[in-house]
Amino acid sequence: MMVLPAGAARAMAGAGETHDWYAFLRALTGIAPVVQPTPEMVALLGEACERTLIPASYFGKVRLSPRFHSALAHSLCHWSMDGLTPDLLEQGADAVLQQHAALAELDDDALREEWTRKTRELASLWRAWQAALTEAGLMEPIRGWQILLDALPARAALPLVMAGFTELTAMDCAALRILDARTTIALVALHDDAHPDAYRPTARLAAILRAADMPLQEILIPAAPVAPPQMTILDTPNPLYEVETVAREILKLQQEGVALDEIALLVRQPDALAEMLAVIFARYEIPLQGEVGLPLERSWRIRWLMDGIRLLMGVGVGADWLHWLEHPAHRLDYATLRPLHRLRRCQSARSWLDAALTRAADPNLHRLLQRLHEWRQGLPASLPQVARRLILHLGAPTQESDLAEWLQLVDAYARQWRRRSAPEATNLLERLVSGARYTQRLGTSGVRLLPMEHADLVETQVAFALQVLEGTLPRRCPDDPFLREGERNALNAALGAQGVCLPTRADAQAAEPMLFQRILHAARERLYFSYPRTQGGDSDALPSFYLEALKARLGDAVRTRFYSLEAITPAPEDALHPYDQSLREPTPYAEPPPILRHPDHRARRADLERPFSVTELETLLRCPFEHFARYVLRLRPLARELSLREVGSLTHATLCRAMRQRPRSHDPQEWVQRLVEHLQALLAERAPDLPDWQVEVLRALAQRLARRFGWREPRYLQQFGLEPHACEWAFGSATDDEDERAIAEPLHNQRQPRRVVYRLGNGREIALCGVIDRIDLSPQRDVALVLDYKLGSAPARSDFLDGRAVQGLLYVHAVRSLLPNAQVVLAYDRLKAGKRVRFVPNETQLVQRFNRGNWEDNGCVVLLTQGQWRQAENRLRHLLTQAIDGLRHATIAPTPGDHCRRCAFADLCRAAQR
């Protein structure tokens, strides 16, 4: 019977009768050897740490860390197999102090004291864990092995051939010693007298077996004189290119008649490459077989479950619920979820679910929300039950490896869920999941994905060793965090006579050259080594020095193919797949018939008969590309956080309401108080959908602007002798723009807004629409003030004269159509600056009325002669005529300038000036 190290037998499935070593012992005795801890065992160690350790303990800082519990539980299992026990650890620690302190590098009193503290604490944690395992009815590792060893002599065993072993623990040796008395055992190991350093693990294995009182009879089998495989090195620019090159080479091999399951991919860290391999090989339709261990968080099902648990525990906000419910796993379409889109997304997860229950009209959705509502009642104590219900809802079998691992974790910590609050439980579950892994099974046929450690056990016709880099092959083996290298050496010296044999970093490092030798024998005909010259971003990567040694030894027998980054398309002989062929010969482009460029079509698209909002015309004049993105493509930047838009619309609404219900007096105190009251009322009625802290920031900002306004407004009213006539006066049509204000007061208009027409320079007319913030009138209605509230700046005099004050001039045009006999003054109230800038026709009466008050800053009055005013209007007419003409001809050239700073489409136009 052939027995292989743990994990290797699965990779050889179908290649004759082979057994995994531990599965073989289990089959023989009916007792499963404890090789590594289950999540339940780790959870019990976590509880023991919590009970036993205090913050001042040696491991006090990490006593609550699930990663620490998991690492320690794994170490305790390994130490048990290496022959160590809590008593031996304490005994060995004392012996180390007395006889081997130098070996353990315990050079001074502080280090010696630390060593004693650490080993005593480890021993006491170990004992506490053993007691907890026994109490919970679980198999304690040392006892488990003892029972297994006791059961072995009674079993009959077939002759064994053991292959691929590079290390054996004390327990493995004890089992072999018992089996050795009952049957014949042949251990096949690699050796070469000419290169003993390349095969050090074999020598160590022989030494361990001899030390375990197993007499060895060594038989040297000379290597069969077979021709070495043809070797090729693929030197590629980056990891993606490397995998693509390997895939293309496999396609060529397939074309030559090599069966896919005769090709092996040897990888040191399969999880790092798994995703890229899956994507690239799927592109080239190359099936993969084997399995790969991945972090649990890589599974979409686990991410979906974790999102659901988080929300049920009350962690998150409404937007997270919506996002989760939109997942295809729920099988809910957009129309079904639409009523829930109107709920406040920033409210807490808990209140959002309550509100959603009252809104859901669809019976399926209502049933689901009802169930979720019920499930959350018993959390976190009922987490194991809720986890199973969610999996049932997902419709996936619980035997799937990722779900099984996740459920094991949830079940293992059942006691913790009962003790912890919902946020604490969520936090613990997240930490547990972040450190856990699962095995993802690939297909059952196709190219074999194998760990390098099993390289020569599955001999194939062709093999590719990927990522052959310094640091990967040979790997820099890390030191053990609990017992460092020197400490292990010292413990081995102190306890060797009692059968303890802890593996060291040096042993692991010495095994690396043999791994490379094994890779050299992984393929019968062709062996490829590949590596990327860069790793993750731009950092350089070095090829393994083993490759240099190989080239030096074999010379021209090892060919190197260099791939440059510039060679984006594969060479003609490599382009076998339609995807690569399309890269080499792009689909010929045929100019489509000029339907879209026909002037009639463009005019239809421009739709010059519709009303143009003043804001749209302002955008069109500023930059035709911005206009195209905003008004033709109708793109909008995502608005998730507090922005100036909310500040502006809340302040506008507050000022509108305050002017409509203004105090009779001109007392600024009273004005400020009323403004603040209106602001609070508006926020209470229609708070924007933002997190609470952002609503508070919004309140503070808007309040500051409103206060500033309250101190000025009564003075202006007295000074100008005007009365507010209309706030939010619409013309043309009810809405001003696509971007309606988030918080808006009702329009002033009782009836349909009046039509306003604007004549262009070429005699054509366009209809205008817009909403004017405020219009004030004199008692005789012979003077009108058009007022625009602004968070930013007002146009400069030069802009006005150039016709660039588009919005203001068009508002004046609209008001003139309403009040043809009135003299119109245009004003911008700069809310942040606390300043009202007015553009006043230079006529004595108007100049006196709108002159600068002695409490005002300079620059708040811009006087304009009739000619200057006419000049501004004519220039605007000219600009608009050109812009509308450009619109008709679909001109969308970006026009960069200062305005790019506020434009959301810079990534699209790529011409932004910033």
Q: Which residues bind ligand SF4 (CB under 6 A)?
A: 623, 625-626, 894-896, 899-900, 903, 905-906, 909, 911-912
Least distance in angstroms from the C-beta of 909 to ligand SF4: 3
Q: List the Cα angle 617/621/623 in 5-degree steps.
A: 115
b (16+ CB within 10 A) / e for 735-756:
bbbeeebbbbbebbeeeebeeb
Least distance in angstroms from the C-beta of 618 to ligand SF4: 12
Closer to ligand SF4 at the Cβ: 517 or 895? 895
Closer to ligand SF4 at the Cβ: 552 or 638? 638
DSSP 196-238: GGGGHHHHHHHHHHHHTT--------PPP--PPPEEEEEEESS
Residue 818 CB contacts under 8 Å (≥ 6 apart), including other chains: 731, 754
C-alpha to C-alpha distance for 392 and 386, rounded to whole angstroms: 10
Least distance in angstroms from the C-beta of 315 to ligand SF4: 39
Peptide bond into 159 cis (omega under 30): no
Least distance in angstroms from the C-beta of 591 to ligand SF4: 27
Find the radius of gyration of the CA atoms of the chain.
Answer: 40
C-alpha to C-alpha distance for 115 and 126, rounded to whole angstroms: 16
Residue 184 burial (CB count, 10 A): 11
C-alpha to C-alpha distance for 570 and 247, rounded to whole angstroms: 12
Contacts 24+ apart (CB under 8 A), 328-334: 329/304, 329/393, 329/394, 329/395, 330/368, 330/393, 332/362, 332/364, 332/365, 332/368
Q: What single DSSP character describes residue 631? A: I
The closest of 786, 774, 521, 522 to 653, measured between CA atoms, is 774
Least distance in angstroms from the C-beta of 647 to ligand SF4: 22
Least distance in angstroms from the C-beta of 629 to ligand SF4: 7
Peptide bond into 474 cis (omega under 30): yes
Least distance in angstroms from the C-beta of 643 to ligand SF4: 17
C-alpha to C-alpha distance for 555 and 763, rounded to whole angstroms: 86
**Burial category of 842 from C-beta neighbours within 10 Å (exposed 0-12, middle 13-18, buried 19 and up):** middle
Q: What are phi and psi of 394, to 5 degrees?
A: -70, -25
Closer to ligand SF4 at the Cβ: 618 or 728? 618
Instruction: Confirm if 28 and 185 have CB atoms less than 8 A apart.
Output: no
Instruction: Identify the sign of the CA torsion 477, 207, 81, 456.
Output: positive
DSSP 827-848: EEEETTTTEEEEEEES-HHHHH
Closer to ligand SF4 at the Cβ: 337 or 906? 906
Residue 161 CB contacts under 8 Å (≥ 6 apart), including other chains: 1, 2, 3, 186, 188
Instruction: Confirm if 305 and 394 have CB atoms less than 8 A apart.
Output: yes
Closer to ligand SF4 at the Cβ: 51 or 901? 901
Closer to ligand SF4 at the Cβ: 369 or 909? 909
Closer to ligand SF4 at the Cβ: 423 or 637? 637
Closer to ligand SF4 at the Cβ: 753 or 894? 894
C-alpha to C-alpha distance for 3 and 165, rounded to whole angstroms: 9
Q: What are phi and psi of 900, to 5 degrees?
A: -60, -25
Closer to ligand SF4 at the Cβ: 148 or 629? 629
Least distance in angstroms from the C-beta of 889 to ligand SF4: 18
Closer to ligand SF4 at the Cβ: 673 or 895? 895
C-alpha to C-alpha distance for 810 and 769, rounded to whole angstroms: 10
Least distance in angstroms from the C-beta of 631 to ligand SF4: 12
Least distance in angstroms from the C-beta of 617 to ligand SF4: 15
The pair of structure tokens assigned to 106 is 């315990």
Instruction: Confirm if 167 and 508 have CB atoms less than 8 A apart.
Output: no
Least distance in angstroms from the C-beta of 891 to ligand SF4: 13
Closer to ligand SF4 at the Cβ: 391 or 903? 903
Closer to ligand SF4 at the Cβ: 563 or 905? 905
Closer to ligand SF4 at the Cβ: 630 or 652? 630
The pair of structure tokens assigned to 264 is 């092996």
Closer to ligand SF4 at the Cβ: 32 or 911? 911
Least distance in angstroms from the C-beta of 799 to ligand SF4: 16
Of all residues in the shown chain, the one whose CB is closest to ligand SF4 is 903
Closer to ligand SF4 at the Cβ: 664 or 910? 910
Least distance in angstroms from the C-beta of 443 to ligand SF4: 49
* C-alpha distances out from residue 112 to 484, 486, 695, 893, Å: 14, 13, 58, 76
C-alpha to C-alpha distance for 836 and 265, rounded to whole angstroms: 74
Least distance in angstroms from the C-beta of 896 to ligand SF4: 4
Closer to ligand SF4 at the Cβ: 512 or 626? 626
Least distance in angstroms from the C-beta of 49 to ligand SF4: 57
Least distance in angstroms from the C-beta of 63 to ligand SF4: 55
